[in-house]
Amino acid sequence: MAQDPIDQHRHGDASRGQRVKNAVLDKTPQKLKNPTGLQVRFRTGLIYTVITLACVALGSIPTVLMFMLVAGICAGEFYYMLRSDAKLPNEMLGIIAAVLFPPSVYFFGALGALFVSMALLVALLVWYVFWMRARIPDVGVSFFGAFYTGLLLCGLVVIQQSLDYPWGSLVLLFIFLSVWANDAFAYLVGSKFGKHKFAPRTSPKKSWEGFFAGLVGSALLWIPISFVPGVTLPVWMAMVFGVICGCMEVLGDLAESRIKRNSGFKDSGTIMPGHGGLLDRCDSLFLASVTSAVLLFLFGCIPNVL
């Protein structure tokens, strides 16, 4: 029986594609063909870091756009996990609100956040009234998800706005670096020297050794903020702020770990190989964002733009 010309064409394309793939693999170093988990984690983290730093360096608008994307993806992962925990959140309304929080705060300040919050609440109440399957816990989960992944990031928005360019972006850069240093120090020290479990029922791999190493990393990266023009922050206070933010970062990480454990997930998603989902990568950032803003504004370290 003669083969269909279209099938022959597809088979030829597949064969050519496989030959090209094999040729590329032949020229690829062996260590890149079968990367270790640490190598995959490093490469993914490097891409995430470069994109983040580029957006922050380019100014407020690119940073806000990045936060909108992060909030939308993280909200989607959050609601996806909660559905496996017998919840029925309204993903559409929650994701829209999460995405709108950063630009609303950027353009309208606290009033913008209040407007989005009220609009979300009214929309969720209408949904609850007219969709009989919805329950009050579903409304609460939908509301919390938008706040958790969208509103908390707005702390970084107002910090960047509080100082002229590029100093606001520079403060933001060091806050990001402190969060990453906390994660990196905790991971490296904990994986090598960790013997005493920190929260065995929530996150079995975390250790007290890694926890304290992470606080050191966070405190060290807060020190340069003291020398940014426009910031009034003694070095000793910067280190204290770094420790406080480091503790909040760990709390945010443990909170997300608890959500995953309750929902039966190992990772919140697969968008970041070696790390899991974007929510896995940003869980420490959410509480660090709002904590940094509260500390810097409360103690008069930067001008209050709200």
What does residue 40 show for φ and ψ, rounded to 5 degrees? -60, -45
Report the pLDDT value the prediction gives residue 20, as an integer from 0 to 100. Answer: 47
pLDDT of residue 6: 43
**pTM for this prediction:** 0.84
Check if the beta carbon of residue 130 is closer than 8 Å to that of residue 81.
no
**91-112: string of b/e by CB count within 10 Å (b at 16+)?**
bebbbbbbbbbbbbbbeebeeb
Closest CA to 245 of 281, 215, 288, 214: 288
The pLDDT assigned to 43 comes to: 74
Band (pLDDT 50/70/90 cuts) for residue 128 is: very high
How do 197-199 and 203-207 pair as beta strands? antiparallel
Are the beta carbons of 203 and 183 closer than 8 angstroms?
no
Residue 31 · residue 265 · CB < 8 Å: no
Q: What are 249-306's pLDDT values in tens digits? A: 999 999 998 988 888 887 787 776 666 789 988 989 999 999 999 999 999 999 988 7
Segment among 6-20, 64-78, 135-149 with least mean pLDDT: 6-20
Task: Name the token pair of 270.
Answer: 């697969």
Q: What is the mean pLDDT of the chain?
A: 87
Mean pLDDT of 183-202: 88
pLDDT at 1: 47
Q: pLDDT category, 77, cuts 50, 70, 90?
A: very high
Structure confidence at residue 276 (pLDDT): 73
Encode pLDDT of 18-62 as tens digits.
554 455 445 445 544 455 555 666 677 788 889 999 999 999 999
Range among 35-49, 77-91, 118-132, 271-285 with highest mean pLDDT value: 118-132
Alpha helices in 34-59 (DSSP H): 37-58
Question: Are 157 and 105 contacting, i.e. CB atoms less than 8 angstroms apart?
Answer: yes
Confidence of residue 16 (pLDDT cuts 50, 70, 90): low
Please tell me the distance from the alpha carbon of residue 258 to that of residue 166, in angstroms, as a whole number.
38
Total number of residues shown for the chain: 306
Give the Cα separation of 121 and 136 in Å (integer). Answer: 12
Q: Residue 92 has what pLDDT?
A: 96
pLDDT per position as a tens digit, 134-143: 899 999 999 9
Other C-beta atoms closer than 10 Å to the C-beta of 191 total 13
17: confidence class by pLDDT, cuts 50, 70, 90: very low
